[in-house]
Structure 1
Amino acid sequence: MKILYDTSVLIAALLVEHTSHNLAFPKLELARRGEVKGYISTHSLAEIYAVITRLPQPLRVLPAEAEVAIADLLEYLEPVPLLTQEYQKAIALMTTQKLGGGGIFDAVIAQAALKVEADCILTLNPKDFTRLGDEIAVRVQMPE
């Protein structure tokens, strides 16, 4: 199975104090152990850093710790970069769905999942992805 991990799941998995850690961490471990093929959108690399270094205490992580955590993820999650044309597809998708604003970042992550033909987009925010249309909605799962 090919899983693209959304930023929300990765943050929860990384932070023991996160309320969804116990759901997210075992799903990330599947990729670390090689039981599934795990992917991460390159957009999520920056997003993880931005979020975990500005969270309120006790969740906030120091910049150096964030760098190490992200490097560790890259040991077992394959990064998925997008080309200009793929960003244009994400923008077109947003336009088709009549969506604006920050949802573009979810569309970028979804486009990465489509690029690698992921079976699943694992997220704690399913509505952010299901609103992007059927091709994406059928791939959306929450950690259970």
Structure 2
Amino acid sequence: MKVMFDSSVIVAALVVSHQSHSACVQRLNQALQQNIQGVISTHSLAEIYSVMTRLPIQPKISPQLAQKQLTANLKNFEFVPLLVEDYQAAIAQMVSLNIPGGGIFDALIAQAALKANVDQLLTLNPKHFTRLNETIANLVQVPQ
């Protein structure tokens, strides 16, 4: 089974104090143990790094620790890079739905999920994805 991990799931899995840590770390461990094929958009790497290094937690997560966590925990993942055509498709979808702003980042993750032909898209923000189209909505799962 191929499972696209949204950045929200990876962050929750790596931050022990996160309210969804248990459910998310369980799914991350499935990918680490190769019981499922973990998939992630290359765009999400930057997003996870950004979120982890600015979380209002103590102690703060240093840039070095964030990089170390990403390297160690995503080593068995399939990385899906997006091309210009993928960005254009995501933007066109946002325009057709009249969704402005930051929703484009979710559309990019959805585009990567389609490109990788995944079976599931794991996220803690299902509404961000279910609004995009029926194909994506059918892939969305919330770790429990």
Q: For the residues of structure 2 that align with 1:134 and 1:46, how far apart are their CA atoms? A: 27
Please tell me whether residue 116 in structure 1 is matched to residue 123 in structure 2: no
> Structure 1 residue 133: deviation in Å?
0.9
Q: What is the CA deviation profile of residues 102-134 of structure 1, one whole-angstrom value per residue up to 9, with x for unaligned ones?
A: 000000000000001011100000000000010
- TM-score for the superposition, normalised by structure 1: 0.97
> Structure 1 residue 85: deviation in Å?
0.3
Question: Is the alpha carbon distance of 1:122 and 1:59 closer, same or farther for their aligned partners in structure 2, counting shifts above 3 Å?
Answer: farther
Aligned CA-pair RMSD: 1.0
Q: For the residues of structure 2 that align with 1:47 and 1:60, how far apart are their CA atoms? A: 17
Q: Which amino acid aligns with 1:100?
A: P
**Match for residue 18 of structure 1?**
18
Question: Is the alpha carbon distance of 1:59 and 1:139 closer, same or farther for their aligned partners in structure 2, counting shifts above 3 Å?
Answer: farther
Answer yes or no: is the 8 Å Cα contact 2:12–2:19 preserved in 1. Answer: yes
Q: How many residue pairs were aligned?
A: 144
> Structure 1 residue 59: deviation in Å?
6.5
Per the alignment, in what secondary structure is the counterpart of residue 49 of structure 2? helix
Answer yes or no: is the 8 Å Cα contact 1:18–1:59 preserved in 2. Answer: no
- TM-score for the superposition, normalised by structure 2: 0.97
Q: Which amino acid aligns with 2:68?
A: V
Identity percentage over the alignment? 51
Q: For the residues of structure 2 that align with 1:131 and 1:58, how far apart are their CA atoms? A: 35
Answer yes or no: is the 8 Å Cα contact 2:32–2:74 preserved in 1. Answer: no
Q: For the residues of structure 2 that align with 1:143 and 1:58, how far apart are their CA atoms? A: 25
1:51-90 to structure 2, matched below 5 A, reads 51-58=51-58, 60-90=60-90
Q: For the residues of structure 1 that align with 2:7 and 2:19, how far apart are their CA atoms? A: 15
**Match for residue 102 of structure 1?**
102
Q: Which amino acid aligns with 2:83?
A: L
Question: Is the alpha carbon distance of 1:68 and 1:130 closer, same or farther for their aligned partners in structure 2, counting shifts above 3 Å?
Answer: same
Q: For the residues of structure 1 that align with 2:31 and 2:59, how far apart are their CA atoms? A: 24
> Structure 1 residue 4: deviation in Å?
0.3
